[in-house]
Structure 1
Amino acid sequence: MKTISAVVEHYIKKKPFLQTALAQGIINLTSLSRQIKPEIAEELGKDVKDGAIVMALKRLSDDLEFRATHKIVKVLKNIGEITVRSNLTDYTFLASDTILQQQARLLEEVNVNQDVFYTSSRGVNEINIVISNIMDGVVEKYFKMERCTQKAEGLSSITVKLPAENVSVPGIYYFIFQRLAWEGIVLYEVISTTNEFTILVNDEQVDVAFKTIKDLKSL
């Protein structure tokens, strides 16, 4: 038998932004209960009082606040070094039988210049390369026979070092990326390792993105 609490929790968890706002206590529970009442009543198959929904929301918000405060926020307060690099170009190539050979040749050039920023990731059908724009000519020389589906210039990267416990706490990336989304930050790329992640943003947005991530340490 479905309960009001279970149905309300299921409804809220399907709406991530609403879930976080509820956890932060910035939503009027009475107004929210009136808004969601028709869907809750339909799911339960019977009429339900506003007060019962408010109580379910209150219990849920208290639980969400506890989890956010004692797990995610604890990790975010221990964010380590934040590194910003500018003057980057983002290339996307279709995967091919020869592209790894060209990538190996490019790496030889990169290794000669330790000041060059370089990172790459491979999906099922695409290979992505982010590199300092002083190497654009080299990339285009080696990859001239490959199919480039996108080239974005005027980008900056922000690399964030996370504490080791990030791998055991769900919601870390969601929490960070949600804050960036609230600020209207467009992410060109997201590249991660176990305890680090790098985002690629437009040069005009890098200051706001950096401040947004840095402010997480003072939650």
Structure 2
Amino acid sequence: MKTISAVVEQYIKKKPFLQSALAQGIINLTSLSRQIRPEIADVLGKDVKDGAIVMALKRLSDDLEFRATHRIVKVLKNIGEITVRSNLTDYTFLSSETILAQQAKLLEKVHENQDIFYTSSRGVNEINIVVSNTLDNVVEDFFKDERCTQKATNLSSVTVKLPAENVSVPGIYYFIFQRLAWEGIILYEVISTTNEFTILVNDEQVDMAFRTIKDLKTL
């Protein structure tokens, strides 16, 4: 038999932003209960009072506040070095039989100057390359026979070193990207390794992105 608490919890879990806001105590529970009461009543097959939903939300928010933030905050407080790089260009090419050979030639150029920023990721159908804009002419020469589907300029990157335990705590990336989304920061690319991730943003938004991530260490 379904209980009000179980149905309310299932409803909240399907709405990540609502779940996070509830955990942070920034939602009026009475107003929320009135809004979701028709759906809760429909699942239960009977009328439900607002007070019962408020009580279920209160118990859930107390539990979520501990579960959703305790381990995550512990990891975020141990965020390591945050590195910002500017003057970047983001290229997206369709995969082809020849593109890896061109990428190898580009890597040789990158290795000639260790101050050059370079990162790349490969999907099923696309290859993404992010480089310092001083290499734009080189990239466009090497890849002139490849199909470029997107080129974005005037970008900056924020690279974050995460503690090793990030791989065993669910919700780390969601928590970080949620904060960035709340600040209206548009992510052009997200590139990650096991204990490090890089976001690519507009030059105008890099300061806000840096502050938003840095402030996570003070939660």
TM-score, length-scaled by structure 2: 0.99
Give the whole-Å Cα distance in 2 for the aligned partners of 1:127 and 1:191: 12
SS in 1 for 2:154: strand
Give the whole-Å Cα distance in 2 for the aligned partners of 1:48 and 1:122: 51
Residue 140 of structure 2 corresponds to residue 126 of structure 1:
no
Code of the residue aligned with 2:111 in structure 1: it is N
Code of the residue aligned with 2:167 in structure 1: it is V
Percent sequence identity is: 87
Tell me which residue corresponds to 1:11: 11
Tell me which residue corresponds to 1:153: 153
Tell me which residue corresponds to 1:73: 73
TM-score, length-scaled by structure 1: 0.99
**Equivalent residue pairs, number:** 219
Alignment of 1:51-66 (within 5 A): 51-66=51-66
Code of the residue aligned with 1:124 in structure 2: it is V
Report the RMSD for the aligned CA atoms in angstroms: 0.6
SS in 2 for 1:173: helix
Alignment of 1:43-122 (within 5 A): 43-122=43-122
Give the whole-Å Cα distance in 1 for the aligned partners of 2:189 and 2:17: 22
Deviation at 1:30, TM superposition (A): 1.0
SS in 1 for 2:119: strand
Unaligned 5+ runs, structure 1: none
Code of the residue aligned with 1:153 in structure 2: it is T
Unaligned 5+ runs, structure 2: none
Moved runs in structure 1, 4+ residues, more than 2 A?
Answer: none
Code of the residue aligned with 1:211 in structure 2: it is R
Tell me which residue corresponds to 2:139: 139
Give the whole-Å Cα distance in 2 for the aligned partners of 1:70 and 1:133: 41
Tell me which residue corresponds to 1:212: 212
Deviation at 1:69, TM superposition (A): 3.0
